[in-house]
Amino acid sequence: MNVSIASSRAEGALVEITDVRKSYFSNRVETPVLHGINLHMQRGDFMAVMGQSGSGKSTLMNILGCLDTPTSGTYRLAGVDVEKQSRAELATLRNRTIGFVFQSFNLLKRMTILDNVALPLIYAGVSRKASRDRAQTQLDKVGLGELANRQPNQLSGGQQQRVAIARALVADPPLILADEPTGNLDTRTSNDIMALLNELNRERGQSIILVTHEPDIAAHAKRLVRLKDGLVLYDGPATEGLRQLKTDDSIATIAEAAL
C-alpha cells in the first residue's frame, strides 16, 4: 500500500473501508458482489482501480461515492462513519467531500459552462454571485476561463471533460472520484486530461481515485488496486501492479492458444 505521503498531509486516512461486503437481492435470491474488501487511502494519494466486468469495481465505486451502502462492513470517509449518516447528512457529506468526474461529462446542455461549474456550490447554499466567482476561478485554472459563457455543445470532448474537472474541484473537496474519465476521448486528449489530474495531485495534493480498464491510463497513478471476483487481487505501486498484469495477460494468452 502506498502511504509514503501520509505524514505530509492531513491527519488520518481519507478512505477507510474495512471488510466491506455487498450483495444484491431479487426475489429472495442473494447475489454477492463484494466479498470482504479492505482499503485504506491517505490524503494526497492517487489510486487507480482496475478489474474486468463483474469484478465489483462499479459497486465499490458506488460505495466510495456514497451512492450505495455496504451489506456489511464499515466505511469511514474523512473520519465520518458513512453508515451512521441520515440521507440528508449523507448528501451533505458527499457534496463537501467528493468531486465526481464521469466518462460522459454529465454537463447540463442548456446552461453555460460557468453555471455548470457553479452548481455544486449552489446546491451547498452558496450565493449565486459567490458561486459564479469561484466557478470562474476554477475555469481559469483548467485553461477555459475565456469560454465561460459558452454552452457544452460548443466545446470539444476534451474541453467538456476539463469543465467536469473544474466542477469537481469548485467546492474544494478532498477527494475526486473519476470514473473512466478518458473513455470518450482520443489518445492525445486523454493524455492532456491525465496530465491535468497529475498536476492536481502533484501540485495541490489532490486525492484521486480513478477507475479505468486501460493500463496506460492507470500508469499515471501512484497506486493500483486490482479487483477480481469481488476481492482485492493486488494493492500496491502502480508500476509493479501493471507489470504483474502484463505477465498475467501473457500467461492467459498462451493458455488460450494451447486449448
Average pLDDT (177-206) is 92
Mean pLDDT of 42-51: 95
Number of structural domains (the chain) is 1
Query: Is the pLDDT at 258 greater than 70, yes or no?
Result: no
**Residue tagged 490524503 (cell numbers):** 43
Q: So what's the pLDDT on residue 162?
A: 94
Whether residue 116 is contained in a domain is answered as yes
* pLDDT category of residue 259 using cuts at 50, 70 and 90: low
CATH code, domain carrying 105? 3.40.50.300
- CA 191-10-95 angle, to 5 degrees, is 65
Tens-place pLDDT, residues 130-164: 999 999 999 999 999 999 999 999 999 999 999 99
pLDDT of 11 higher than 90: no
Contact 34, 60 (CB under 8 A): yes
Q: Is residue 254 part of a domain?
A: yes
Alpha helix locations (H) across the chain?
57-64, 87-97, 113-123, 128-141, 157-169, 187-204, 215-218, 238-258
Is 1 among the domain residues? Answer: no
Domain of 107 in residue numbering reads as 6-258
Is 18 a domain residue? yes
252 within domain boundaries: yes
Stated pTM of the model: 0.87
pLDDT above 90: percentage of residues in the chain? 78
Q: Is residue 149 part of a domain?
A: yes
Percent of the chain whose predicted confidence (pLDDT) is above 70: 92
